[in-house]
Amino acid sequence: MGKKSVMVCICIKLLMLLKIRHKYLITAAALKVDFYKNACPQLHEIVQKVVATEFQLDPTSPGPQLRLFFHDCFVGGCDASVLLNSTDVNQAEKDAAVNFSLGSFFVIDEIKQQLEQECPGVVSCADVLALVAVYSVKQAGGPLYEIDLGRRDGLTSYAASSETFLPAFSLNVSGLLEDFHVVGLNLLDLVVLSGAHTIGQAHCNSIVDRLYPQVDPQYPKYYSKQLVANCTDNGYFKLPNYDNNTQFFNDPITPTRFDNQYFKNLEANLGLFTSDESLFNDERTRKLVETYASNQDAFFKQFGISLRRMGKIGVLTGTQGQIRNQCWVRNSHNVDPALDPASLDFVS
Ligand code: HEM
Ligand SMILES: *[C@@H]1O[C@H](CO)[C@@H](O)[C@H](O)[C@H]1NC(C)=O
Ligand SMILES: *[C@@H]1O[C@H](CO)[C@@H](O)[C@H](O)[C@H]1NC(C)=O
Ligand SMILES: *[C@@H]1O[C@H](CO)[C@@H](O)[C@H](O)[C@H]1NC(C)=O
Ligand SMILES: *[C@@H]1O[C@H](CO)[C@@H](O)[C@H](O)[C@H]1NC(C)=O
Ligand SMILES: *[C@@H]1O[C@H](CO)[C@@H](O)[C@H](O)[C@H]1NC(C)=O
């Protein structure tokens, strides 16, 4: 194929992806908690150990590790598409124009490398993402959740899809619900999974809508003063800001602890993003926020259920996709499926 027809092909594909925001079915399919029991008995221990080692070096490590799973699942299903690097002919999710400030790719690579030594060609990168999310929650002080395994790795990753499917920080409950419904999740999932923001950090960009041109009066004064001070230079908002090291804790009270403080913060108007605080401001979701703010066990229990549901979005199983040898690249010739529309596993 000539270069020109390749480009035409890719353009058609991207248009398709942008148009078809079809519903993903939550497919229970062949996933099982003990999928690797015989083929890779060391799996859990390897993941747990690497996550623990990272935590020793950096107590904020669970944040980006947990977030990767969300970004993977919402964009074309939990198929490790978020891990693929861009190629000459395709811009991958990782390199979307909107910089989502993802991190921790090296943690996934470290785990995958150890797995390939112990049980080569067996464990998918998509399942590594799922387990890393689970052990990150545990490492940050949350419960150890059960998660289904047996996902296969996808062949495609498109930057344009990230921007289509990932909810924006500036959305209210109506907008957030739209994005959650597209992937088959509901209002309960939205509220409880947002509780992931009980850990992790954010950049100024993610609160630009609440600081500029006007400071959102819902923030407590003392808090918005700090945010403004750290996000402006000579009166100008720092944009683009991902180059700056300025970061805020999503949960300023217990920043590295996985607990129900996030929901208490929403009640105290300390939600960092518009999307966070809207959960308390909207009648449809306020009751749930209050429930989780007063009952950590209820939050812990439902978070596990909803995380497991999120983990089933658009999964590949059986002989679909492949088990990647390295998480950032497809196996073998690395022919980009963008060149062959028939192999578009995304629209399955
Ligand atoms: C409800 C819709 C959601 C929106 C609008 C949203 C938005 C964001 C934004 C804007 C950031 C900060 C990015 C930055 O400034 O660097 C962030 C961070 C984070 N998000 Fe979400 N998110 C949502 C749902 C979720 C879900 C479902 C999870 C996981 C289950 C999650 C886990 C995280 C974590 C752990 C961080 C911190 C990452 C770090 O420490 O580097 N988020 N999110
Ligand atoms: C996105 O931000 C990260 C973190 O600052 C940076 O390492 C990366 O180079 C940025 N990517 C792009 C495409 O700007
Ligand atoms: C692909 O991504 C990995 C991170 O997962 C990075 O270390 C590596 O340098 C990238 N490879 C290429 C060829 O860009
Ligand atoms: C949510 O945001 C949309 C778009 O900005 C707006 O039209 C709508 O009125 C808002 N809905 C609620 C319930 O605040
Ligand atoms: C933050 O980043 C912006 C844009 O790259 C730059 O102009 C500014 O000087 C940086 N501010 C600090 C404090 O480093
Ligand atoms: C803003 O920056 C100051 C000085 O570096 C720091 O002490 C403070 O904790 C920051 N505020 C927030 C909300 O991160």
The pLDDT score that the predictor gives to residue 30 is 83
The pLDDT score that the predictor gives to residue 332 is 72
Q: How far apart are CA 42 and CA 62, in angstroms?
A: 21
Q: Whose CA is nearest to atom 10 of ligand 2?
A: 99
Q: Which residue has the tokens 């109506």?
A: 174
Q: Whose CA is nearest to atom 14 of ligand 2?
A: 99
Q: How far apart are CA 195 and CA 292, in angstroms?
A: 9
Q: What is the pTM of this model?
A: 0.90
* Number of Cβ atoms within 10 Å of the Cβ of 315: 28
Counting from 1 in the atom list of ligand 6, the atom nearest the Cα of 230 is 1
Q: Which ligand has the minimum distance to the alpha carbon of residue 201?
A: 1
Is 71 annotated in the active site? yes
**Two tokens, residue 38:** 């015989």
Instruction: Name the active-site residue from 22, 44, 71, 181.
Output: 71
The pLDDT score that the predictor gives to residue 235 is 73
Domains of the chain: 29-166+311-342 (1.10.520.10), 184-306 (1.10.420.10)
Q: Write the CB contacts of 236 (distance below 8 Å, at least 6 apart in sequence).
A: none
Chain centroid to Cα 147, Å, comes to: 16
The pLDDT score that the predictor gives to residue 346 is 36
Q: Are 130 and 151 in contact (CB under 8 A)?
A: yes
The pLDDT score that the predictor gives to residue 244 is 64
The strand pairing partners of 65, in sequence order, are none
Q: Ligand 4 within 6 A of 168 CB?
A: no
Give the SS3 label for residue 209: helix
Q: Whose CA is nearest to atom 11 of ligand 1?
A: 202
Q: How far apart are CA 171 and CA 339, in angstroms?
A: 35
pLDDT in 10s for each residue of the chain, 348 residues: 344 444 444 444 444 444 344 445 555 558 999 999 999 999 999 999 999 999 999 999 999 999 999 999 999 999 999 999 998 889 999 999 888 899 999 999 999 999 999 999 999 999 999 999 999 999 999 999 999 999 999 999 999 999 999 999 999 999 999 999 999 999 999 999 999 999 999 999 899 999 988 999 999 999 999 999 888 877 777 766 565 667 899 999 999 999 999 999 999 999 999 999 999 999 999 999 999 999 999 999 999 999 999 999 999 999 999 999 999 999 975 555 555 544 443 322
Classify residue 23 by its DSSP letter: P
In order of 132, 159, 160, 164, 199, the CA distances from 95 in angstroms are 22, 6, 9, 14, 24
The pLDDT score that the predictor gives to residue 240 is 63
Q: Ligand 2 within 6 A of 116 CB?
A: no
The pLDDT score that the predictor gives to residue 188 is 98
**Two tokens, residue 168:** 């924006």
Q: In terms of DSSP H, where are the helices of 252-347?
A: 261-267, 274-281, 283-294, 296-310
